[in-house]
Amino acid sequence: MYRTGAQVRIRSFCPPGHIRTPHYLRGKTGVIERALGPYENPEQRAYKLPAPERQLYRVRFSMREIWGEAAERPDDTLDAEIYEHWIEADHAP
Amino acid sequence: MPHDHHDHLSPSGHPYRADNDGPLSYWQLMEIAVRELLIEKGEVTSAQVAAQIDAMDARHPSNGAKVVARAWSDPAFYEALMADAAKATCEMGFDIGPMNLVAVENTETVHNVIVCTLCSCYPRNLLGLPLDWYKTREYRSRTVKEPRKVLAEFGVELGAGVTCRVHDSTADMRYIVIPARPEGTEGWDVEALAVLVTRDSMIGTGLAKQP
């Protein structure tokens, strides 16, 4: 479980299927905005397969992190819902 | 002689506009076939199908406007809404079902806008069916990259002191923006306030109307 405020990185891999992690956020670093609780994993549920519950989080990213210095306004933010198996703790150097 | 034998003109002299004159698409045919089979086999009745369409059409942004007006007027409800929006709105009679709801609030320094880049997630129980523009690739791709430009095209200019927060509705949450309460509405009752709450103001692509 991650706490609100924890710094995390979105995993950067490309499995096929009904994935709810947008490509533009993969590999990006953000902060847990809030934990939303457990939900059935849509990656299985979409195919009517047994879907284990996974923790879902709202992760907040800066526009600078997503789009670089070319961002329209680097300090604006983007929040997205990300499942726990797409999140890893970020150990920034 | 404008009315003489012009196949492309109606008898009134105006050109015919394209209409739904073509054959049914694959999916339109599939929908009709499945619906008729379900009715034939007694799984559902045509009255049930019609009732479900009526229920979908009955959901309207005025539902969301009631929620916003109450949040503006009732501090205890506001607290409950920000803590657990699905529960607070369900108690008003707006059940979001298995989904969950998050309310985000616009202030003098924060402006929120909602998008679903992956499809068209939308709080249908509060706002009705999503708009065509909300489902376009243009809105979905540009709102996460240049939200201020998109908002300006909707007529919402964000000042330098305002942070724009975009919410990409990627999974099980649905979102409603609580627009800032217009000045000059002190003492108004919830019915009068609700009239100021537009659909776009609850998506973040608009502001509440000024009194």
Number of C-beta neighbours around residue B84 at 10 A: 15
Residue of A20, A36, A76 lying closest to B100 (CB–CB): A36
Confidence of residue A93 (pLDDT cuts 50, 70, 90): low
Q: Which of B122, B145, B146 is nearest to B132 (CA)?
A: B122
What is residue B17's predicted lDDT score, i.e. its pLDDT?
Answer: 84
- Whether residue B190 lies within 8 A of chain A, CB to CB, comes out as no
CA pair distance B121, B76, nearest whole angstrom: 28
Q: How far is CA A56 from CA A50, B11, B110, in A?
A: 18, 61, 24
> Known catalytic residue: B90?
no
> What would the pLDDT profile of B67-107 be if each residue is shown by its tens digit?
999 999 999 999 999 999 999 999 999 999 888 999 999 99
Q: Which residues of B touch A36 (CB under 8 A)?
A: 100, 172-173
Does B99 reach chain A within 8 Å, measured CB to CB?
A: no
**Could you report the per-residue pLDDT of B22-72, keeping only the tens digit for each?**
999 999 999 999 999 999 999 999 999 999 999 989 999 999 999 999 999
pLDDT of residue B209 exceeding 90, the answer is: yes
- What global pTM score does this model have? 0.90
Asked if the model's pLDDT at residue B1 lies above 80, the reply is no
Q: Flag if B163 and A77 touch (Cβ within 8 Å).
A: yes
The DSSP H or E segment spanning A53 is strand A53-62
Residues of A with CB under 8 A from a CB of B: 20-22, 24, 36, 39, 42, 56, 58, 66-67, 72-73, 75-83
Nearest residue on chain B to A80, alpha-carbon basis = B168
Contact A82 B117 (CB under 8 A): no
For residue B168, report the phi and psi dihedrals to the nearest 5 degrees: -95, 115
pLDDT surpasses 60 at B6: no
Record: contact B169-A81, CB cut-off 8 A: yes
At A85, give phi and psi (nearest 5°): -75, -5
Residue A77: is its pLDDT beyond 90? yes
Average pLDDT, chain A: 95
Three-class secondary structure of residue B208 per DSSP: coil
Q: Is some CB atom of chain A closer than 8 A to the CB atom of B87?
A: no
Asked if A72 and B146 come within 8 Å (Cβ–Cβ), the reply is: yes
Q: Check residue B81 and give its pLDDT.
A: 98
